Copies of this chain bind each other. A is one copy, B any other.
Amino acid sequence: MKKHSKYYRRGKRDETLILPANDSISATLDTDHLCAKTTVMISPNFKHDRIWLNGREEDIKNIRLQNCLTEIKKRAGNSNHMDQWKIHICSENNFPTSAGLASSAAGYACLVIALAKLYEIKGDITTIARVGSGSACRSILGGFVRWYMGSQTDGTDSIAKQIVPASYWPEMRILILVVNEAKKNVSSAIGMRRGMETSDFLNFRVKHIVPDRVKSIEQAILQKDFKTFAEQTMKDSNQMHAACLDTYPPCVYMNDISHAIVDLIHAYNETVKEVKVAYTFDAGPNATLYLLEENVTEFLGVLDYFFPPTTNLEEYRKGLPVKKVVHSLELFNNINIRKQAPGCFKYIIYTKISDGPKYLNDSKDHLLNKEGLPILIKDYP
């Protein structure tokens, strides 16, 4: 039901339980623009457990999915033997998968929320989402969220907690720049494992840098201190990718376009003599930018100037409506970087932070029909 943009990444200390090597913080984005949607259904008439993702049946034996289902059933107890009934799951994303947009975090968060409702599970469910996809535990909650690494070997204290709800910092906006490029080379799970095994930097970072940084960014959020929030976010993104490069063989997720975005943000902030925009990069070339609403029209003018779109703006700008962008040649000329060739981005998504998963009660939202089979209602991206 939702989507997270991480700005603290982690290596893992346990790969089955998905226990991270450090705390992390994320923001939950608006489900109107980036979300997973999931219907779950149980029935004594179903013969097997089954799952459909984005219109295609997938293997229900997937180990992470099974871990989630096992945890759920453990917590459900066995009143009415409902836990013996077979389950059908149908899920879809309204954004591309495997493009570095954290589709599995959104997917598992949505699945676990739906299962918890079905089996009437009370109490913390972030630990259940975590065993599906680590960062999904944060996506269970809205606003700004902190994932505590915990210290128990069974992972029971590796849980996510909300820092503040979305309404606490209503001016915060997000721009996602989807780079026109093939999917990532090395999966983030493989990259993280290799990093923990081979990177001196990653091991140094999780012990000596991230603990203070998490504190400082949490503080910045509580104080709505955009400058600190932005600088810490950018430094952490750079350092995470530096640790990936220090991995052997190296894992490289950012590309020339990603680095050109970084250059633009630094040159722009320097020109306007204020930290107005922050970047962060996940396990792919796409950029996630944080900025306050008052700066969006000015920055979008700058972005369109240095990274000219090729498609029509209606297709190119997704998400929230954008007021007329500011076209200031004086500003553009003062930003000392090179213009890029047109068409660097497939599209951009303009969105905000939201309150997270929503329960959809209307039967027209259901993805399974009465027989428990998928109702195909749209083309998948």
Interface residues of A (CB under 8 A from B): 185, 200-201, 204-205, 208-209, 231, 234-235, 238-239, 241-243, 245-250, 252, 255-256, 259, 262-263, 266
Contacts and interface: CB of A to CB of B under 8 A. Distances in A.
Contacts of A266: 249
A238 B234 contact: no
Please indicate which of the listed interface residues A239, A247, A262, A266 has the most CB atoms of chain B within 10 Å of its own CB.
A239
B248 A238 contact: yes
A333 to B, nearest CB: 19
Contacts of A262: 249-250, 252
A102 to B, nearest CB: 22
A246 B238 contact: yes
Contacts of A234: 248
Contacts of A263: 185
Given A201-B246, A242-B245, A255-B259, 14 more contacts: A200-B204, A201-B242, A201-B243, A204-B204, A204-B208, A234-B248, A235-B248, A238-B247, A238-B248, A238-B250, A245-B245, A249-B266, A252-B262, A256-B256
Contacts of A208: 200, 204
Contact of A242 (B185, B231, B246, B259): B246
7 contacts: A200-B209, A200-B239, A204-B208, A238-B246, A242-B243, A242-B246, A256-B256
B255 A245 contact: no
A240 to B, nearest CB: 9
A239 B246 contact: yes
A155 B175 CA distance: 50
A201 B185 CA distance: 25
Nearest to A249: B266
Nearest to A267: B249
A164 B326 CA distance: 63
A250 B185 CA distance: 23
B259 A252 contact: yes
A247 B246 CA distance: 14
A245 B238 contact: yes
Contact of A201 (B201, B250, B259): B201
A338 to B, nearest CB: 9
Please give me the 7 A-B residue pairs with the lowest Cβ-Cβ distance, nearest first.
Answer: A242-B246, A242-B242, A242-B245, A249-B266, A256-B256, A238-B250, A252-B259
Contact of A255 (B235, B238, B247, B256): B256
Contacts of A249: 262, 266
Nearest to A337: B185
A269 to B, nearest CB: 9
A201 B239 contact: yes
Contacts of A185: 263
Nearest to A257: B256
A339 to B, nearest CB: 14
A241 B235 contact: no
A248 B247 CA distance: 20
A198 to B, nearest CB: 8
Nearest to A235: B248
A164 to B, nearest CB: 27
Contacts of A239: 200-201, 245-246
Nearest to A238: B250
Contacts of A231: 248
Contacts of A250: 238, 259, 262
Contacts of A252: 259, 262
A133 B268 CA distance: 33
